[in-house]
Amino acid sequence: MAENQMMGKQSIRLGEAPHIIGNASVVGKKEGEGPLGKAFDLVSTDDFFGEKNWEAAESTMQAEAVQAALGAAGVKAFQVRYLFGGDLLGQLIATSFGLEDFKIPLFGLYGACSTCGEALSLAAMTLSGGYADYAAAVTSSHFASAEKQFRFPLSYGNQRPLAASWTVTGSGAFILGKQGGKVRITEITTGKVVDYGVKDSMNMGACMAPAAADTIYQNLMDLNRMPADYDRIITGDLGYVGQEILISLMKEKGFDISNVHMDCGIEIYDREKQDTHSGGSGCGCSATVLSAKILPMIARGSWKRVLFVPTGALLSTVSFNEGKSVPGIAHGVVLEHC
């Protein structure tokens, strides 16, 4: 068995690079009407997903995404040794209730909207460490449960500043195995909390861009790569505002990523028609775009190597109301065609 290697300060190279052997995306109505609408596996016309409240709706999305990903991988739930899951809600209730029926050992994760990167990292490390033959990663967010959690009840009808992003209603699930599929996870760069002191919870892009820059820079240094060594460097949900900041921060660090940068929050909605301001966000944003767009592009060889960097803004209504800043975190995962 090839050994895992520590690379530089905060990256690792996986000795037995795990393959993504099944993936699925489940989204709400608005996401289905966006540019990637036809690429999602399941688009619900009912944002309640048949449930009585938004939290249960989010749980149902997660369960459906995992079920569909298992189906795509041709793997049964009992074969999966570890499930890495998370969401944005307090105490991860979407995950706890969404995944309980699978009866798979569960590691609950919280990294705000970076959780998809965190879950994929740990699932991949688990496989390449010899702890499992199959592991799963799943994350979700729901516009309505997130607005209720972080901002205002929907019926209050608050105005949204142009820097605000729109929480994606969606869940993406991924089954990792030792062989099969056309995409593998080769390296991982785990992020630190990066705090530039930004206090504007309606401008998540600005809060997260410094964390994204930190992780991307460290990835390039640790692996001795240039931006052009990646076909795309793809952040989670910086949106239009955060993208500008990221590109500028990277220039200050000596790297021009403007030619290869892409952001899932920008991809998922139509800026002109969908009134989503700075773009999409949420644990479900990067996860569904990974499943619906990024993995297919890598699988068919259009992209050979991608640095996928979901980005999270670390705050709660309590920390925000107590005057705390909104630090960011970003977890990098290198995906390669195989």
State the nearest-atom distance from the C-beta of 93 to a second copy, in Å: 4
Q: Which residue in this structure is represented by tokens 């929050």?
A: 265
> Binding-site residue total for a second copy (CB under 8 A)?
62
- Which of 42, 67, 71, 106 is the binder for a second copy (CB under 8 A)? 106
> Three-state SS for 131?
coil
CB of 272 to a second copy, least distance (A): 32
- Does the protein bind a second copy through residue 130 (CB under 8 A)? yes
Amino acid at 132: A
Among 151, 160, 178, 192, binds a second copy (CB under 8 A): 192
Region from 30-38, 117-125, 223-231, 295-303 binding a second copy, contact rule CB under 8 A: 117-125
Query: What angle (nearest 5°) sits at the alpha carbon of residue 36, between those of residues 93 and 170?
Result: 5
Site pattern 246..285 for a second copy (x: CB under 8 A): ----------------------------------------
The Cα–Cα gap between 25 and 50 comes to: 17
Q: Is 110 in the site for a second copy (CB under 8 A)?
A: yes
State which H helix or E strand residue 145 sits in: helix 143-150
Radius of gyration of the chain (CA): 18
Among 40, 49, 82, 230, the residue binding a second copy under the rule CB under 8 A is 82
Q: What is the DSSP track for 258-312?
A: TTTEEEHHHHSS-HHHH--TT-EESHHHHHHHIIIIIHHHHHTTS-SEEEEE-EE
> Out of 29, 74, 105, 158, which residue is the one contacting a second copy (CB under 8 A)?
105
Closest CA to 67 of 89, 88, 54, 83: 83
> Interface residues with a second copy (CB under 8 A)?
1, 3-6, 10, 12, 15, 52-53, 55-56, 81-82, 86, 88-93, 96-97, 99-100, 103-112, 118, 121-122, 125-126, 128-133, 149, 190-193, 195, 314-319, 322, 324, 327, 329
